[in-house]
Structure 1
Amino acid sequence: MTTQVVILAAGMGSRLGRSLPKPLTELADGRTIMQQQFDNIHHAFGKNVKVTIVVGYKLDHIIEAFPEASFVYNEQYDQTNTSKSLMRALNASQPGGVLWMNGDVVFDPAVLDRAAAMMARDQSFVTVNTSKVSDEEVKYTTSAEGYIQELSKTVKGGLGEAVGINYVSRDDKANLLRQLARVDDQDYFERGIELAIEQDRMLVEPVDISDLYAVEVDFAEDLERANLFV
């Protein structure tokens, strides 16, 4: 089965204050955020991996930069959040599991090596960082069995933060898709995961990458921190 990877890059990324889509922000090593992601994807899965980018805001710039990718258009990019971008990507995917990531995450190549082991088992997962728990980030709790239980920015007593790199298995994809269709337009995709866990008994494992770097670039200080690693 061909590995399927989705990058969510439809948003306007206004908090960073750049004119181009945020994934095209240049890093200290000269690569863009999205090029760093592509390099990591190719490192883990080879050059023949199928990568689909969900585009919206100033989509021509992303299409021009990565013509080898496939593209899904979220025409409501300025009115919807990542739940609806992921829904569009999963609807367009081939049979089988899908790895997806937010288009603004700068991360250690070893993250996807760790993810690949879970993907080989076709086990749905969320990558997490247990070294910090910030109020404004998506946090999680686990069940007694160790699976993800709660997953949102409003979680109390979170065990860590979700990094923004996740996988849905072949068998779980239909349930996640149905829940993504149900959630509010402004919901993050994590809400769809949470509902699938609650209502469909989807089992989602936390994959701890606290020993590796992963920086979601929302603000200028995040970009400075990401540049310390690349």
Structure 2
Amino acid sequence: MTQIVILAAGMGSRLGRSLPKPLTELADGRTIMQQQFDNIRFAFGSNAQVTIVVGYKLEHIIEAFPEASFVYNEQYDQTNTSKSLMRALQASAPGGVLWMNGDVVFDPMALERAAALVAREQSFVSVNTAKVSDEEVKYTTTAEGYIKELSKAVVGGHGEAVGINYVSRDDKATLLRQLKRVGDQDYFERGIELAIEEDGLRFEPVDISDLYAVEIDFAEDLERANLFV
């Protein structure tokens, strides 16, 4: 059974909607999160156990996806994705965990590509090498091709992280320890970066540049995502 986590606790204030951002409707009538659920079923079938980390206006998400499990980040308005992922990993069953940000609209094939690494228990970060924006999480790699740096502050990045990641069963406890250490306002990428730097964990970059993956922060992002769905 594949364990999948969707991080959806944040307020998503930049998009300026009253509902949680993952419940934003796309041009095809589905919400962002429904598109994610459909993609999960496409790649992993009904064998996926989905847990949603909720916070802001959580009752709307719980009502929309009653088949999921839920983890509550009661400090959703004071913490970032590092602490939401920390709570999800603490609540997870033994085994690896695939997780995604709840505001990413992406090609179903992205998870099919990821499934091959999940099957061989290889921790990974999905990346797009086609563009490197200042405000996005960027990465560099080691000589062996594994992730080296992973943050918005990276200079000379090889590409951007798209918000779909996996931690293997053997790496999970180490990542969890680092997520507990990082600051409340840190993104989960800081935990990955420290686990690589201090514990020697190996996260492979999975290139999905040929597929679409749009993180919805602003109205123009939503417009771009709607061109794909």
Per the shorter chain, which TM-score range? over 0.9
Report the equivalent of 2:57.
Answer: 58
Quick one: which amino acid aligns to residue 127 of structure 2? V
1:78-89 alignment runs, 5 A limit? 78-89=77-88
Quick one: which amino acid aligns to residue 56 of structure 1? G
Normalising by structure 1, we get a TM-score of 0.99
Matched, 1:196 2:195: yes
State how far apart, in whole Å, the 1-side matches of 2:106 and 2:61 are: 20
Q: Deviations over 1:61-103 (max 9, x none)?
A: 0000000000000000000000000000000000000000000
Q: Identity rate of aligned residues, in percent?
A: 86
Secondary structure of 2:111's match? helix
Report the equivalent of 1:217.
Answer: 216
Matched, 1:109 2:114: no
State how far apart, in whole Å, the 1-side matches of 2:195 and 2:26 are: 36
Quick one: which amino acid aligns to residue 118 of structure 2? M
Which runs of no fewer than 5 residues in structure 2 stay unpaired? none
Quick one: which amino acid aligns to residue 116 of structure 2? A
1:48 is displaced (CA, Å) by: 3.3
State how far apart, in whole Å, the 1-side matches of 2:205 and 2:48 are: 24
State how far apart, in whole Å, the 2-side matches of 1:19 and 1:179 are: 33
State how far apart, in whole Å, the 1-side matches of 2:46 and 2:118 are: 17
State how far apart, in whole Å, the 2-side matches of 1:57 and 1:187 are: 18
1:145-184 alignment runs, 5 A limit? 145-184=144-183
Q: Deviations over 1:191-225 (max 9, x none)?
A: 00000000010000000000000000000000000
1:128-143 alignment runs, 5 A limit? 128-143=127-142
Secondary structure of 2:161's match? strand
State how far apart, in whole Å, the 2-side matches of 1:180 and 1:65 are: 29
State how far apart, in whole Å, the 2-side matches of 1:34 and 1:182 are: 29
1:161 is displaced (CA, Å) by: 0.2
Quick one: which amino acid aligns to residue 15 of structure 1? R
Matched, 1:19 2:23: no
State how far apart, in whole Å, the 2-side matches of 1:48 and 1:132 are: 34
State how far apart, in whole Å, the 1-side matches of 2:162 and 2:39 are: 15
How many residue pairs match? The answer is: 229
1:47 is displaced (CA, Å) by: 1.7
Secondary structure of 1:99's match? strand
State how far apart, in whole Å, the 2-side matches of 1:7 and 1:113 are: 17
State how far apart, in whole Å, the 2-side matches of 1:47 and 1:140 are: 33
Secondary structure of 2:47's match? coil
Secondary structure of 1:29's match? coil
State how far apart, in whole Å, the 1-side matches of 2:48 and 2:79 are: 28
Report the equivalent of 2:98.
Answer: 99
Report the equivalent of 2:32.
Answer: 33
Secondary structure of 1:45's match? helix
Runs of 4+ in 1 over 6 A off after TM superposition: none
Q: Deviations over 1:130-181 (max 9, x none)?
A: 0000000000000001000000000000000000000000000000000000
Which runs of no fewer than 5 residues in structure 1 stay unpaired? none
State how far apart, in whole Å, the 1-side matches of 2:224 and 2:45 are: 28
1:49 is displaced (CA, Å) by: 1.2
State how far apart, in whole Å, the 2-side matches of 1:48 and 1:152 are: 32
Secondary structure of 1:26's match? coil
State how far apart, in whole Å, the 1-side matches of 2:82 and 2:163 are: 13
Quick one: which amino acid aligns to residue 112 of structure 1? L
